[in-house]
Structure 1
Amino acid sequence: MHQWQSTDQGRHLRGRRKTNTEPELLLRKALHAAGARFRLHRQLTPGCTPDLVLPKHKIAVFVDGDYWHSCPVHGRRTPIAGPNAALWAEKFERNRNRDRRSTQLAEQAGWTVVRLWECSIRKNPGAAAAAVLSGRALPPAT
């Protein structure tokens, strides 16, 4: 079993936020301005905690970071190198599997799932909020 090795290249990743990220805050501000009311990080079922939920509309929203969730437009394009390459590949695969499972669990519990890419929110928070309120996802921003 491999163990993580601290590297200078990975130093910038320490202390990264997992909740209340800038894209989440932009989306929340736009939703609030549109009159939507929501709850944050509410567990719907074990293994499924969306970034926010709109209980009135039964909509669960996941904000997927471009890097960590492998955005098809802005995700990593080159293989990871270095002593932690295999561990990073496993991490990204776990993220994709967790995303699929969370979506499935929320839908099985009767929620409409909206997954938004960080790039789409940053490009147009208002359009992202409108997509949430209509219960549809947005494609990655180009």
Structure 2
Amino acid sequence: MADTISSDRRSKIMSHIKSKDTSIEMMVRRRLFAMGYRYRVNYKALPGKPDIVFTKKKIAIFIHGCYWHGHDCGSRYAHTSQSNRAYWGPKIERTKQRDQEHIQKLEANGWKVIVLWECEIKNHLELTIADLIEKIEN
């Protein structure tokens, strides 16, 4: 299926997509903060700049959008691009590969890595937070 929007317009739309402080990140961060947890955000000293970091506990949390990180969950958030597949397919595959590289580096240095997905957060926020708290505390 061809894109119905001009390439200039598509470029403008894509340039406004946030890479940090996204709505799903903010949902998790607000909930953790309200529960008394303090953390670092987009910690540049670690591979992949984790979205949330508990430095003393050595816990790194990544909050991934299903589309951008290639989550094969079948949710409406994980649709595949119908236009310009030659571009988006390899781009998302490289993102998945890079995510794995960052996780391996962190784990090799003794960090506990937690990945939260957009579909989990949007569909089951309370369960996701409860599970996250359990992982942080153990």
* Contact 2:70 2:93 (C-alpha < 8 Å) held by counterparts: no
**Match for residue 34 of structure 1?**
35
SS of the counterpart of 2:7? coil
Structure 1 residue 128: deviation in Å?
A: 2.5
* Contact 2:48 2:99 (C-alpha < 8 Å) held by counterparts: no
TM-score under structure 1 length normalisation = 0.77
**Match for residue 130 of structure 1?**
130
1:48-95, Cα deviation, whole Å (9 max, x unpaired):
310110123211000010111122222225x633xx321111111111
Q: Structure 1 residue 18 and structure 2 residue 16: aligned?
A: no
Structure 1 residue 8: deviation in Å?
A: 5.3
Structure 1 residue 120: deviation in Å?
A: 1.1
Structure 1 residue 108: deviation in Å?
A: 1.1
**Match for residue 80 of structure 1?**
82
Q: Size of the alignment, in residue pairs?
A: 128
SS of the counterpart of 2:98? helix
Change (3 A) 1:57 1:133: farther
Q: Structure 1 residue 112 and structure 2 residue 115: aligned?
A: no
TM-score under structure 2 length normalisation = 0.79
Structure 1 residue 11: deviation in Å?
A: 5.3
Which segment is superposed worse, 58-67 or 36-45?
36-45
Q: Which amino acid aligns with 1:119?
A: C
| Structure 2 unaligned spans of 5+ | 1-5
Instruction: State, as a whole percentage, how many aligned pairs show the same letter.
Output: 31
Change (3 A) 1:64 1:70: same
Q: What is the alpha-carbon distance in structure 1 between the residues aligned to residue 16 and residue 10 of structure 2?
A: 14
* Contact 1:80 1:88 (C-alpha < 8 Å) held by counterparts: no
Structure 1 residue 33: deviation in Å?
A: 1.8
| Structure 1 unaligned spans of 5+ | 137-142
* Contact 1:41 1:50 (C-alpha < 8 Å) held by counterparts: yes
Structure having the larger proportion of residues in helix: 2
Aligned Cα RMSD in Å? Answer: 2.2
